[in-house]
């Protein structure tokens, strides 16, 4: 390490030394809440859609499908 870098590093450490007593870590008074409702709703909808598709394929007479109009 060259001399100017060493001096700058020593000065920086000397300036940060008094700040060591100012840092404190506290736990929050209220619990942290993470809202995941959107993700849960999407997962439920995907599962329901798969269940419905399986049910329709297993019982085609109970769920008649409309035929698409023919192109002219």
Distance CA 39, CA 34 (A): 12
Tokens of 6: 């060493």
- Predicted local confidence at residue 19, as pLDDT: 61
The tens digit of pLDDT for each residue in 39-61 reads 566 677 778 888 888 988 898 88
- Tell me how far apart the terminal alpha carbons of the chain are, to the nearest angstrom: 82
- Residue 67 pLDDT level (bands cut at 50, 70, 90): confident
At residue 13, φ and ψ (nearest 5 deg) are: -65, -40
Q: Supply the mean pLDDT for the chain.
A: 77
Closest C-alpha to 53, from 43, 65, 41, 42 = 65
Task: Tell me if 43 sits within 8 A of 50, measured CB to CB.
Answer: no
- H runs (alpha helix) in the chain: 3-16, 37-58
- Predicted local confidence at residue 39, as pLDDT: 58
pTM: 0.33
């Amino acid at each position: 390490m060259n001399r100017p870098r060493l001096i700058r590093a020593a000065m920086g450490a000397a300036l940060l030394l008094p700040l060591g007593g100012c840092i404190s870590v506290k736990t929050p008074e209220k619990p942290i809440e993470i809202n995941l409702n959107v993700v849960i709703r999407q997962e439920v909808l995907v599962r329901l859609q798969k269940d419905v598709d399986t049910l329709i394929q297993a019982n085609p007479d109970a769920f008649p499908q409309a035929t698409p109009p023919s192109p002219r």
